Amino acid sequence: MKRIALKQRRGGAVEMLALMIAVAAWPAPTLAAVPTKDGHPDLSGYWDLDARIPRDAALMKKIAPDTAVLDDTGPVEFPRGEYGGLKLKPAAKDAADKWDPREDLTVAKACSPPSIVYAMQGPFPIQIDQGRDIVVIRLQYYDMVRIVFTDGRKHLPTSAPHTKVGDSVGHWEGDTLVVDTDHLEAATITNNGLSHSENVHVIERFRLSPDGRTLLSTQEFEDPQVLDNRGARFIAWKKQDGQYIEPYDCDPSFGLNYGK
């Protein structure tokens, strides 16, 4: 919250308290983007996922050969045994075949977030705040927050902890932000039993449409421990003005409705 300091000889404390109470009731502001010296596009804003947007040809050309492009963005989910062209290692297929969805709907697991591999394509909005050396991506889904450093730093050492958002470093290739993420905890790839390991590596590319109202992206991932090929998704969002990310507020008691 932006803090406002008032310095007056008399009544300053009372005015300060009243002002802080009023400000607390305001909606959370979107931080103003700091333009870079190189004039990179500003990705800041509130973005609603829109699975109807056709794939962007320029981004799709960047996807590496032997990559399965999954068509499960948004509310779409693959049925059991369908993995969108991904070639599973025997152990990964065996684990997926044995997967019981009821185990993911218990009170203990109902509010356990996936990693960004699955979360970024979910049917929930995101909000981006872009600065000169940092890009913050907030997901409404499970209240996840991603920090992408664009100051030239390297990834964390291999001994660093793994999380559901991982360690992300980015750089610009013309009008496209390229984000490289590792240090991800093992989690869902597709919502039918297929999970990636903690060795998954993710490359994302983000660019704006010519009118600046559509955010276009691709997500590529590879995990030699789980897959014999690479996977990718095309994900796009439409900009919505005057809106803000709301809390996800997951209630674990939701899991009481299942497993009976």
Report the sign of the C-alpha dihedral through residues 169, 173, 175, 178, in that order.
negative
Nearest to 70 by CA among 192, 179, 173: 192
Domain boundaries, the chain: 1-30, 45-257
Q: What is the pLDDT of residue 259?
A: 54
The 3-state secondary structure of 31-87 reads CCCCCCCCCCCCCCEEEEECCCCCCCHHHHCCCCCCEEECCCCCCCCCCCCCCCCCC
Q: What is the pLDDT of residues 99-145, one digit of tens each?
A: 988 887 788 888 999 999 999 999 999 999 999 999 999 999 999 99
Predicted confidence band of residue 62 (pLDDT cuts 50, 70, 90): very high
Please check the confidence at residue 260 and state whether its pLDDT lies above 90: no
Return the percentage of the chain with pLDDT > 70, whole number. 83
Q: What is the pLDDT of residues 67-89, one digit of tens each?
A: 999 999 999 999 999 999 999 99
Q: What is the pLDDT of residue 139?
A: 98
Q: Rounded CA gap, 125 and 145, in Å?
A: 12
Q: What is the pLDDT of residue 33?
A: 40
Q: Rounded CA gap, 140 and 119, in Å?
A: 10
